[in-house]
């Protein structure tokens, strides 16, 4: 059995410190599969309900609308500033390679700069091309964070997504390697705990962002989860989101139902505002009963529910 953490100091306002000194809010609202027309309204609502972290991607086709939602919210809420909100986007596989990456960053700039000035985090969405192109993209991204005043787009931090240990090692061993990824965004939930990869990331000071923490809905009727909901009196949504926070993840949940946005965010307790809190300074805690955590402790489980059920972290150059 793994070491189970039953309680963690965390609130709605908590942020984790990234390895480059920037701060990232622990609760993120993701806009995967949100139609462009709806994204603006959803992002506005997420910010109104208290989220301060929005996760988008070029692939989602709704970055511009997500940025517009942030801009509108800031216009209507003068007590919140741009620096209080964290915006992430991700480059597609087509943008792997040095020149392609620069081209896509220019396109991102066209979509978002007039609305939100800068991007907090750009991720390589997946490792699924080849070594040369992955490293070429990283070379370009490194240049953006190192020369934020180059005129194209200010990018504060860079990271990866769906990278396995081999992809991270490839980066660390490359002779052009200068900037460490701040996060690795991964499918993570009780059925996919990825213990080895997590341990490796902790060793290298790379935070884990958990996507599909609600299993994209696939496990919401799992008999074991339903039994836990019944025995503990805690809703299955709260159980899954709290499980994720208790692992120390930055948790990215998504819903297109306006009323569920607050429900998901309110899993975290209220805390203090207007302070750069890190996890050691926040007041309020997230906890789950030990028997619930024991039931969800599946160290050997490896159920990939997204990406066509083929684990992108295990991608080898030449695979489909
Ligand atoms: N880097 C990557 O490769 C990658 C891949 C996938 C996702 N992501 C990021 O992670 C975010 C979240 O992941 P995800 O969208 O895959 O899955 P998720 O958040 O695990 O699950 C979303 C599903 O759960 C349902 N849901 C949400 N809140 C609910 C609630 N309170 N009660 C009942 N059902 C609820 C949603 O339905 P309704 O909409 O009907 O509420 C939707 O079907 C994405 O939006 C994206 O930003 C990244």
Average of per-residue pLDDT across 165-175: 98
Banded pLDDT at 271 (limits 50, 70, 90): confident
Cβ of 32 less than 6 Å from ligand 1: yes
Q: Residue 311 above 80 pLDDT?
A: yes
Express the helix, strand and coil content of the chain in percent, nearest 5 each.
40, 20, 40
Q: Give per-residue burial for 255-268: e unless 16+ CB within 10 Å, then b.
A: beeeeebebbbebb
Q: Determine contact, residues 271/283, Cβ cutoff 8 Å.
A: yes
Q: Is the pLDDT of residue 202 over 80?
A: yes
Write the pLDDT tens digit of every residue in 110-125: 999 999 999 999 999 9
> Which residue pairs, CB below 8 angstroms and at least 24 apart, start in 204-207?
204/168, 204/172, 204/180, 205/19, 205/180, 206/19, 206/159, 206/168, 206/180, 206/181, 206/182, 207/16, 207/18, 207/19, 207/24, 207/182, 207/183, 207/248, 207/249, 207/250
Would you state the pLDDT for residue 227?
98
Q: 181, exposed or middle or buried, with CB in 10 Å at 0-12, 13-18, 19+?
A: buried
Atom of ligand 1 nearest to the CA of 31: 45
State whether residue 223 is helix, strand or coil.
Answer: helix
Instruction: Decide if 127 contacts 134 (C-beta within 8 A).
Output: yes
At residue 282, the pLDDT reads 54
Whole-number pLDDT of residue 235:
98
Is the pLDDT reported for residue 176 higher than 50? yes
> Among 276, 275, 272, which residue's Cα sits nearest to residue 11?
272
Cβ neighbours of 126 (radius 10 Å): 23
Those residues with Cβ within 8 angstroms of residue 284's Cβ, 6 or more apart along the chain or in another chain: 9, 10, 11, 268, 269, 270, 271
Does domain 7-303 fall under CATH 3.40.50.300? My reply is no
Determine the longest span between alpha carbons in the chain, in angstroms: 57
Supply the residues annotated as catalytic.
Answer: 60
| Mean pLDDT taken over the chain | 95
Ligand 1 within 6 A of 121 CB?
Answer: no
Q: Whose CA is nearest to atom 13 of ligand 1?
A: 212
Pocket-testing residue among 240, 255, 303, ligand 1, by greatest number of atoms within 8 A of Cβ? 255
> Is the C-beta atom of 240 inside 6 A of ligand 1?
no
Is the pLDDT score of 61 beyond 80?
Answer: yes
Question: Which residue's CA is minimally distant from atom 28 of ligand 1?
Answer: 255
Nearest to 248 by CA among 286, 200, 295: 286
Whether ligand 1 lies within 6 angstroms of the CB of 135 is answered as no
Q: Are strands 15-17 and 7-9 parallel, antiparallel or unpaired?
A: unpaired
What mean pLDDT is predicted for residues 185-212?
A: 98
Q: Which of 66-75, 153-162, 272-281 has the lowest mean pLDDT?
A: 272-281
Q: How confident is the model at residue 280 (pLDDT cuts 50, 70, 90)?
A: very low
With bands split at pLDDT 50, 70 and 90, how would you rate the model's confidence at 34?
very high
Ligand 1 and 209: CB distance under 6 A: no
Interval 41-54 mean pLDDT: 98
Q: How far is the CA of 262 from the centre of ligand 1 (A)?
A: 14
Looking at the predicted structure, is the pLDDT value of residue 148 above 90? no
Quick check: 83 pLDDT over 70?
Answer: yes
- Average the pLDDT over 130-148 and give the result: 97
8 Å CB contact between 270 and 284: yes
Percent of the chain with pLDDT over 70: 96
Ligand 1 near 214 CB (within 6 A): yes
* pTM for the predicted model, two decimal places: 0.96
Q: Which pLDDT band, with edges at 50, 70 and 90, does 174 fall under?
A: very high
Q: How far is the CA of 215 from the centre of ligand 1 (A)?
A: 7
């Amino acid at each position: 059995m793994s070491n189970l953490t039953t309680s963690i100091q965390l609130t709605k306002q908590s942020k984790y410190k990234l390895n480059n000194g920037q701060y990232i809010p622990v609760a993120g609202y993701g806009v995967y599969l949100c139609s462009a027309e709806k994204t603006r309204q959803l992002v506005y609502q997420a910010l109104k309900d208290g989220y301060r972290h929005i996760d988008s991607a070029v692939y989602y086709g709704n970055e511009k609308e997500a940025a517009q939602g942030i801009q509108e919210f800031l216009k209507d809420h003068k007590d919140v500033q741009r620096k209080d909100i964290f915006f992430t986007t991700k480059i597609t596989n087509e943008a792997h390679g040095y020149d392609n990456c620069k081209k896509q960053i220019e396109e991102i700039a066209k979509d978002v700069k007039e609305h939100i000035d800068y991007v907090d985090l750009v991720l390589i969405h997946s490792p699924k091309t080849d070594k040369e192109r992955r490293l070429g993209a990283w070379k370009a991204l490194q240049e953006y964070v190192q020369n934020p005043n180059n005129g194209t787009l200010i990018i504060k931090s860079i990271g990866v997504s769906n990278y396995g240990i081999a992809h991270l090692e490839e980066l660390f061993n490359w002779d052009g390697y200068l900037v460490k990824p701040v996060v690795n965004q991964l499918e993570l939930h009780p059925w996919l705990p990825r213990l080895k990869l997590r341990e490796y990331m902790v060793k290298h000071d790379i935070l884990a962002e958990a996507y599909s923490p609600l299993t994209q809905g696939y496990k919401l009727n799992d008999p074991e989860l339903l039994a836990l909901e019944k025995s503990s009196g805690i809703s299955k949504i709260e159980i899954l989101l709290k499980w994720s926070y208790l692992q120390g993840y930055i948790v990215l949940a998504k819903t297109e139902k306006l009323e569920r946005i607050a429900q998901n965010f309110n899993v975290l307790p209220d805390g203090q505002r207007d302070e750069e809190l890190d996890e050691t300074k926040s007041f309020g805690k997230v906890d789950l009963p030990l028997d619930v955590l024991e039931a969800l402790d599946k160290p050997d489980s490896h159920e990939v529910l997204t990406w066509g059920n083929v684990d992108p972290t295990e991608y080898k150059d030449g695979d489909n």
